[in-house]
Amino acid sequence: MSLKHVNAVIVGSGAGGGVVAKELAEAGLSVVLLERGKWFTPFDERKDDLRNQRTCVLGNAFGPDERNPRVYADASGREHVVPPTHWAYSNNAACVGGGTLSYGAMAWRFMEKDFRLRSTYGAVEGSTLDDWPISYADLEPYYEKAEWEIGVSGDDSNNIFRAPRKRALPMPPLPPTREHQILKPAAQRLGLHPFDIPMLRNSVPYNGRGACMRCRWCVGFACEVDAKCGTHNTVIPKAINTGNCELRSECIAREILTSDRGHATGVAYYDSNGRLQEQSADLVVVSCAAIESARLLLNSKSRLFPNGLGNRHDWVGRNLQGHAYTGAIGLFDLETYDDLGPGASIAVCDFNHGNSGFVGGGLLANEFIRLPYQFASRTAAGIPRWGAGHKDFMRRYYRSSISVMGPMQEMPVFDARVQVDPKVKDHWGIPVARLSGHRHQNDLLGTNFMSAKAEAWLKEAGATTVIRSGPISLDGPSGGQHQAGTCRMGNDPKTSVVDKYCRVHDVENLYVIDGSVHPNNGGFNPVLTIMAIAYYASTNLVKARKGMGTS
């Protein structure tokens, strides 16, 4: 029995797909939202410091599972089949809400310059760096919409570098932690401009859910009091409540189906019982995050599209980026730990742009609370790795240390890419993603600079010893939870995959709406930008559809 035809089928219910589902459903379109993972509720929540999305030594809590391997080709070209818990897998959670169920929830707006890096810094050798086809001003109303609909707390009024905003954040920041109180005056003495990080987290009751209880189990975990705001507890329930959207979880998309005329006609997927289904639709939206979105397009081959959809010019899967993280850890004589989650609360944007010697930069912020095993396993250079010295270090500094870190804006590299592997298939027989390539030299220069700035901040704050992160490795592509770039947005179909409205250039009813479309990924956690683009693209999609008179 074939499934009832709908107006739109959306693949992936993360930051992008969840927002699109709600926008289309509210506009009156019938929507099917496919998600490969499960739908967790706060009552399923279990805090496990060895089995979560950030520390997954005993597995990840929110998927994907071992049935979903990937292939990683290392710098020497050797191929490794890796499970989702392997670092080279570049995992993002597979569940309703995607990464937004268990993320740290920083809610950054990119800066104006992030949308025109090429114009600001010029061409960069060895990089496909380009401007976005849209500006910050185009996205500004949609950033605001994301902040108010999904819910952001914080206060960036002291951030003199931020792009202009029309409306303040809907919720105040959480009261400052001890770390915050130590770091703030130190930053001010250095002439920096510290402020309260915007977070997709209820600091006060909002949207019918309660406030953060400030536990230490935040990033990597789902929130058991539902105070963390993701798409799973905001826009997706709203979409369903319209009566127009059906969410189908544990459904694995195999390919996007196309007609002889080159239109997308729907999605073939394996349902939760492993049965192959075909969902036909007027339009298809791909929102699987940068690695899986590219994989789905590349796996959708046909006579008209022998190299996969949107891939006429070999740009699908290219420019895979994430963030190179860097910073420093400061050791103090006084106690810095007050057991108030989530931990991260104060940031500076003084180093996002205008640094000499390299392109771009990134924010610096204090880290989320590091649980004991995380702290024990990431001891810095010069600290004994084991033995009495290590144990003493743990006792002395677990509660007397501050870590300042930040995401470096990575330069897009054409050869850092997602392909589909010719041999390895997943549990459902679908060719898996193959990751290969390297990072750009600029990432190394930038991270070295930023870790020196983190060191200076911690020293000013009174750290007796500061240990910088070691230099990053340029081997292997970046990605991880911040994965982006593989279906670049651009005006020229020869050097991009989607147009400025996220529509695939040569398939008029196929959209990619997630971090894949970012030409570059900012020096910021990208989730709020993904949400803003989803609002923006959905709004234009609905307008275009009404213009065409297709109801």
Note the residues at the interface with another protein (CB under 8 A): 47-50, 57-59, 175, 210-211, 213-217, 224-225, 339, 341, 372-373, 375-377, 385-388, 390-391, 394-395, 398-399
Question: Which amino acid makes up residue 213?
Answer: M
Cβ atoms of residues 220 and 102 within 8 Å: yes
Which residue lies nearer to another protein by CB, 381 or 388? 388
What's the closest the beta carbon of residue 509 comes to another protein, in angstroms?
43
What's the closest the beta carbon of residue 335 comes to another protein, in angstroms?
9
Give the tokens for residue 7.
Answer: 């107006």
CA distances from 228 to 23, 109, 307, 323, 352 (A): 21, 18, 40, 23, 26
Give the tokens for residue 496.
Answer: 């991009």
CA-to-CA distance for 272 and 292, rounded, in angstroms?
19
Pick from 352, 382, 406, 346: nearest CA to 187? 346
What's the closest the beta carbon of residue 86 comes to another protein, in angstroms?
12
Which residue lies nearer to another protein by CB, 217 or 524? 217
Which residue lies nearer to another protein by CB, 58 or 75? 58
Where is 186: in which H helix or E strand?
helix 178-189
Q: Which residues pair with 61 in a beta bridge?
A: none
The SS3 call for residue 548 is helix
Strand segments, DSSP code E, in 76-115 are: 79-82
What's the closest the beta carbon of residue 213 comes to another protein, in angstroms?
3
What's the closest the beta carbon of residue 372 comes to another protein, in angstroms?
4
CA-to-CA distance for 280 and 258, rounded, in angstroms?
10
Give the tokens for residue 508.
Answer: 């008029």
Q: Which residues are within 8 A (CB) of 168 and not within 5 positions of it... i.e. 6 or more apart?
A: 157
Which residue lies nearer to another protein by CB, 51 or 116? 51
What's the closest the beta carbon of residue 269 comes to another protein, in angstroms?
29
Where is 326: in which H helix or E strand?
strand 323-331
CA-to-CA distance for 113 and 136, rounded, in angstroms?
8
Cα torsion 421, 424, 430, 431 to 10°: value is 0
Which residue lies nearer to another protein by CB, 62 or 142? 62
What's the closest the beta carbon of residue 288 comes to another protein, in angstroms?
26
Which residue lies nearer to another protein by CB, 4 or 385? 385
The SS3 call for residue 255 is strand
Which residue lies nearer to another protein by CB, 202 or 311? 202
What's the closest the beta carbon of residue 242 comes to another protein, in angstroms?
32
Which residue lies nearer to another protein by CB, 215 or 445? 215
Question: Which amino acid makes up residue 132?
Answer: W
379 alpha-carbon distance from chain centroid: 26
| Other CB atoms within 10 A of residue 460 CB | 17
Which residue lies nearer to another protein by CB, 49 or 79? 49
| Other CB atoms within 10 A of residue 225 CB | 14
Which residue lies nearer to another protein by CB, 203 or 311? 203
What's the closest the beta carbon of residue 108 comes to another protein, in angstroms?
25
Cβ atoms of residues 34 and 12 within 8 Å: yes
CA distances from 270 to 30, 154, 253, 292, 297 (A): 21, 41, 6, 16, 17
Q: Which residues pair with 324 in a beta bridge?
A: 408
Name residue, tokens 């969840």.
18
What's the closest the beta carbon of residue 48 comes to another protein, in angstroms?
6
Cβ atoms of residues 101 and 62 within 8 Å: yes
What's the closest the beta carbon of residue 289 comes to another protein, in angstroms?
25
What's the closest the beta carbon of residue 174 comes to another protein, in angstroms?
10
Which residue lies nearer to another protein by CB, 75 or 213? 213
Which residue lies nearer to another protein by CB, 43 or 386? 386
Give the tokens for residue 416.
Answer: 């850092």
